[in-house]
Structure 1
Amino acid sequence: MSTTTFTIPEGLPYVGASLLSTVFLITGQTIIVGLRRKAAGIKYPQMYAEKAEVEKSVDALRFNCAQRAHQNTLESIPLLYLTTCLAATKFPIVAASLCGSWVVARVFYTRGYVTGKPEKRIWGAEFGTAALIGLLGTATYVVGSAVKAQLGF
């Protein structure tokens, strides 16, 4: 049985900080959804306001937008965590910077979306997508290089 040595790269605490910031992001979004739910009078377990409720109430529309921003973030988080962790094995500063950029973009995305005007989320969405693509490219390079080395290329 062979042994493999794994060296923790310098700069890894930055990765931890950037990943931890996602907890604050998601917690903030959860609070916003709760406040918007209360303002709209939407009871649990109803996930979104119905079309008729939205047509009658701007608060119901804002609740739906807040809920969607939160759900979309939750859908993206596994991709962010995986690509950040993989990229960080060789490029921790790059990984932390891109992850942190994604979080900042998500703040702008959320702030724009919860206005009830979904088009205001676009800047945050585009910037966040660019950060995630950067992480995907970096993680792919790291994994590809490791596989190539294992195969002897």
Structure 2
Amino acid sequence: MVTITISPDYGYVLAAAVSTFAVAQWLGMRVTPFRKAAKIPYPYEYASYEQVQTASPERAKAMILFNSAQRAHQNFNENYPVALGAMLIAGLQYPKAAAILGAVWSVNRVIYGWGYTQGLEGGKGRYYGILWMFAHFGLIGYAGTSAWKIINM
């Protein structure tokens, strides 16, 4: 039987994990004003290509910004379970590294979401927050290493 002792530094991992809750809420709430400006009713998730192409330039821009805000939120949701799980697993063996990478992930998800809605062609503003991806893969690597260490205890 393996006994895992959790370091007092694991509290930092939990704090980083809690920060992701705030990011999730912020990204979700951020979509609403863009939806209203684009006049896209519920339950439609995005403005369609056809809607954007046939809209006035002002409305088309609002629709593209809505789609960008929605896409930033969806991208977060697609990557969130892996990041959170990896953060919690990595923190078992590497609490400080997991906490730092978790914080970098959260901050850069905010920058990514903000950047995506800056109206740059093709949503290129999202690249301002590209560090989230490096933190994401770092967390996965540390999680794998943590699992390996625990298996070999």
TM-score by length of 1: 0.90
Write out aligned runs for 1:1-153 (5 A).
3-55=1-53, 56=55, 57-117=60-120, 118-125=123-130, 127-149=131-153
The 2-side partners of 1:54 and 1:33 are apart by 17
Tell me the SS of whatever aligns to 2:51.
helix
Structure 1: which amino acid aligns with 2:28? T
The 2-side partners of 1:74 and 1:61 are apart by 20
How far 1:13 moved relative to its partner?
1.5
Tell me the SS of whatever aligns to 1:140.
helix
Identity %: 34
Name the Cα RMSD after superposition: 1.2
How far 1:123 moved relative to its partner?
2.9
Q: What are the Cα deviations for residues 57-91 of structure 1, in whole angstroms up to 9, with x where unaligned?
A: 21100000000000000010111111101111111
TM-score by length of 2: 0.90
How far 1:45 moved relative to its partner?
0.6
The 2-side partners of 1:61 and 1:93 are apart by 39
The 1-side partners of 2:24 and 2:146 are apart by 28
How far 1:99 moved relative to its partner?
0.6
Q: What are the Cα deviations for residues 34-54 of structure 1, in whole angstroms up to 9, with x where unaligned?
A: 110011100011010011322
* 5+ residue gaps, structure 1: none
How far 1:14 moved relative to its partner?
1.0
The 1-side partners of 2:148 and 2:4 are apart by 17
Q: How many residues align?
A: 146
Tell me the SS of whatever aligns to 2:152.
helix
